[in-house]
Chain A
């Protein structure tokens, strides 16, 4: 990732007391996002509102679309029109977005989508937190593919990871998700926005060769082709159909294999570069609590109680959810008695942990229904069980 300094125009440097939703908008602006299409839905609306308020003076555009399908469609258009683009949503809106997320994956269109998760299924509990869409973000659109998803645990991290999400999205030409939740979205804390020259931003990788040689795709499985924008005379074509390097439909099994392995490999082969973890007292731990987002902060209290009770407990916070940190978890599995995986759903990421641990140690999930965070005591009990 080649980074340059952020455009100071979008950067609201200084200290602020912000909620996660507002911090997301600031992160996007700092990252150079100048086009936002969205549709209101609790608890994500504040991000759209802040972007709408801030963008005119920053040189950006906000449009409220007729629905979430249209929002992602507009992002695809705007990305190929040359802009960095973003939308936010929650539950029902995320389901509607799946169709065009697939188109963005297939056309390798960079964009950032934040899901401020609320409790489902369906309309569920609109104003209360959950972590129930962790698999939907991974598998929700049809077909076989990879995306990148990040999980902030605070308003500060909403800002930081919004910048990071844009950087990853541009680097790998892949929709990148910020999977936050109602609690983080609506929680206010101090957010420090650094001066623009201290924010590293990955710009669009513009193609620079002769026009006739331009190919919107390369199926190397490592890196992605540079991009162009409409209006610059490249006469590019993109399609959701299986396509060749020129972007033209090529409806054969062989070509599909090329495209799909590329979509998968460009993420998998770079997983080590993408994945970020936050580890605490892992060395010598008997039990490691694996958590993400708001649940990490709830779990931290259980971890502390366990340590006070004499159980050597480490904590592993997944900042990057997808690609999954399977290598690190497999490595740890051989050294500890067990993992404890609390999450606000009845078992989504815990299956990934089980898969990665591959029977080397215990894996104790701590499920929870949507709408509320865990009682730290529940997590403590699981730590005690894992330590047995």
Chain B
């Protein structure tokens, strides 16, 4: 390790958040995954949450490596299985905030079934998908989100399959918070992550991001900057957008924003309520009595209200600064 590395590791503003001893990371120049990690770190810092109570779970893929770099309790699991591991972690230790960060192939190809069921249960976890429309780690194959006509190594003549529209899928499955941004919109991502931290229930954030080495190159779309230019041209924030209308065609319009935010008891709350109703005082999950459970719920609700106020202040500040939002350019 040379001196520069050493200094970088100690002095980096990210040192508190990343396992600096694991730097440099494996991601290619221009890859969109780094942006998401930065926004995530920013969200953690801004929301002031206890990092000891925050855990990250990833599957396998380039994005799956995120768990290995964050200085948090972190589990790098098997391909597609981050969500059920997160489910177990959250249920075994409900005071944790559990965040899944993984790729489009991981979460919606091999892991699709787990996603829809966690959303259906309103499992209280945050799922962040870096959607680069491809299997990055294995060399640019087709994923369930690859737009039609796009070229992938396994659709060398262009894709003919129908892709998933992820916000629509999440919404239909019961997710109670759904947002989409592109990697150009770092501050919006940060804000969404903060909102998701503060949201009770299954939160899904899709981040459209470039895989420069494979998807961009194979489709002759240029480098990372070209991708950001595309987002700048074609990504559009809207209010009250119906998730049925947010499908993405090859290199065409990307509709973004917070599409869904609704209140619904989480899996854990539903379990508690059901058992407490039927079993009364006999019910003591992990030894917690009814008054203790109620006290905990009250504290959490207070905390959520406090955070919400902070978020709103921040929102006002953002607006004032930008006269609009990030899509006008950073």
Contacts and interface: CB of A to CB of B under 8 A. Distances in A.
Say if the two chains contact directly (CB < 8 Å): yes
Interface of A: 34-35, 37, 56-57, 59-61, 63, 65-67, 69-71, 73-83, 85, 99-100, 102-103, 229-241, 248-249
A70 B123 CA distance: 14
Contacts of B53: 231
Nearest to A230: B73
Contact of B68 (A74, A234, A249): A249
Contacts, number: 161
The 3 closest A-B pairs by CB, nearest first: A77-B88, A81-B92, A74-B88
A73 B82 CA distance: 8
Contact of B84 (A35, A69, A79, A237): A69
A77 B92 contact: yes
Given A73-B81, A248-B68, A81 B284 contact: no
Contacts of A102: 78
Given A231-B96, A235-B73, 4 more contacts: A63-B91, A74-B91, A237-B73, A249-B68
Interface in B21-80: 21-22, 51-53, 55, 57, 67-68, 71-78, 80
Interface stretch (B2-10, B162-170, B252-260, B275-283): B275-283
B285 interface: yes
A166 to B, nearest CB: 15
6 contacts: A57-B282, A73-B81, A81-B92, A230-B55, A234-B73, A237-B74
B85 interface: yes
B157 interface: no
B88 A75 contact: yes
B78 A100 contact: yes
A82 B73 CA distance: 13
A237 B76 contact: yes
B113 interface: yes
B304 interface: no
A29 B104 CA distance: 39
Contacts of A61: 91-92, 271, 285-286
A128 to B, nearest CB: 29
Given A65-B84, A230-B93, A237-B74, A56 B68 contact: no
Most A CB atoms within 10 A — which of B55, B57, B75, B93? B75
A233 B284 contact: no
B126 interface: no
Interface string B102-138: 0000000000011001000000000000000000000
B117 A81 contact: no
Nearest to B88: A77
